[in-house]
Amino acid sequence: MSNVERTLSIIKPDAVERNLTQEIQNIFSKNNLKIVESKKIHITKEEAAEFYKVHQSKQFYSDLCSYLSSGPIVVMILEGENSVALNRKIMGATDPKNAEDNTIRKLYGLSIDKNSVHGSDSIENAKTEINFFFKD
């Protein structure tokens, strides 16, 4: 049974800055996640605050929004079988120290905040997040 889904991925400023965009995109392709849309943008702190509003009560919220707006990011729609869960698996744990070998965060993440990538955590959130960056 086919279960093709779409998810939102973001290559965060720490990884864009280190020219890791192509390497990370290659990892998606190798894992059968097709990049159907991709754009490099630089968002404001206000836009980051809207995107990450589920975290507004957390102590790290303000720093997180400053960070995501600190430099260019690459936002992508990934499509494939079970893409939401598959992308989360390929990304690895939030804190790179706890991420499994060969995950993006283990390979490239610098710290729990500068962890190189974002990925939607549910099909519902994927829809909301895709609409946030790709309105048509």
| Alpha-carbon span 95 to 82, nearest angstrom | 23
Is residue 55 part of the annotated active site? The answer reads no
At closest approach, how far in Å is the CB of 106 from ligand UDP? Answer: 13
Joined tokens for residue 131:
């609409």
Cβ distance to ligand UDP smaller for residue 15 or 77: 15
| Alpha-carbon span 53 to 99, nearest angstrom | 25
- Helix and strand tally (H, E) in the chain? 7, 4
Q: Residues 75-104 vs ligand UDP: string with x where CB under 6 A?
A: -------------------x----------
Among positions 18-47, residues that touch ligand UDP (CB under 6 A) are: none
In the complex, which residue's CB is closest to Mg ion?
A: 121
Q: Tell me, what amino acid is at 22?
A: Q
Residue of 105, 109, 118, 120 marked active site: 118
- Residues binding ligand UDP: number (CB under 6 A): 9
Tokens 């943008």, located at residue: 41
Tell me: does residue 110 bind ligand UDP (CB under 6 A).
no
Contacts for 18-21 with beta carbons within 8 Å, 24 or more apart?
A: 18/108, 20/108, 20/116, 21/74
Q: Closest by alpha carbon to 42, among 133, 109, 122, 120?
A: 133
Cβ distance to ligand UDP smaller for residue 56 or 94: 94
At closest approach, how far in Å is the CB of 105 from Mg ion? Answer: 12
Q: Closest by alpha carbon to 41, among 81, 69, 5, 80?
A: 69
The footprint of Mg ion (CB under 5 A) covers 121
The footprint of ligand UDP (CB under 6 A) covers 55, 60, 64, 94, 112-113, 115, 118, 121
